[in-house]
Amino acid sequence: MSQIAPPQPAAIWQAVASVLDPEVPVLTIEDLGILRDLHLDESGHVEVVITPTYSGCPAMDAITADVVEALAAVGCHDVSVRLVLAPAWTTDWISEVGRRKLQTYGIAPPHHRGDGPVPVALSVRCPQCGSADTRELSRFGSTACKSLWSCRSCLEPFDSFKAL
């Protein structure tokens, strides 16, 4: 078997950055802002740093496994995934690309929290028909990061990504 060239940093980053979030499978972990860092040392060891959205996010184990698998596919087998809590993740880290993907997928993207101490309750636009005439059914939705809404115009229910 011929020698395989060691993977280049750009390819390594690309492999990790394209891992999908298992619970919102249109977003990559880069879109979501939970991929924090990647270190490649001289021995070829890759360390990936990720942070959870919520403390109890049950997807972290699956994401860790997916990162290891994605790196194996580009020839990196000496991999560690480190989980960090600080700084705490915020929905403001979801990229613009990510916000557009959410919208298209049928999940209303979170409003920007900014640095203000008081979260402002804003109307959420229906991702299906764009109407602002919507109402919150429950502050807690299908996963920890979403709330459940319904649209008075098109009568469809939808998820909204909670600002955190």
Instruction: Using CB under 8 A, list all residues that contact another protein.
Output: 52, 54-58, 84-90, 137-144, 148, 162, 164
- The two beta strands, 79-83 and 107-108, are unpaired
* Closest separation in Å from C-beta 139 to another protein: 6
- Residue 101: closest CA among 18, 36, 45: 18
* Closest separation in Å from C-beta 141 to another protein: 7
> What would the two tokens of residue 103 be?
């919208």
* Closest separation in Å from C-beta 105 to another protein: 20
Nearer to another protein, 14 or 150 (CB): 150
- Nearest-Å Rg of the Cα atoms of the chain is 18
- State the Cα–Cα distance between residues 55 and 161, nearest whole angstrom: 16
Nearer to another protein, 57 or 126 (CB): 57
Nearer to another protein, 46 or 163 (CB): 163
Phi, psi of 14 (to 5 degrees): -60, -40
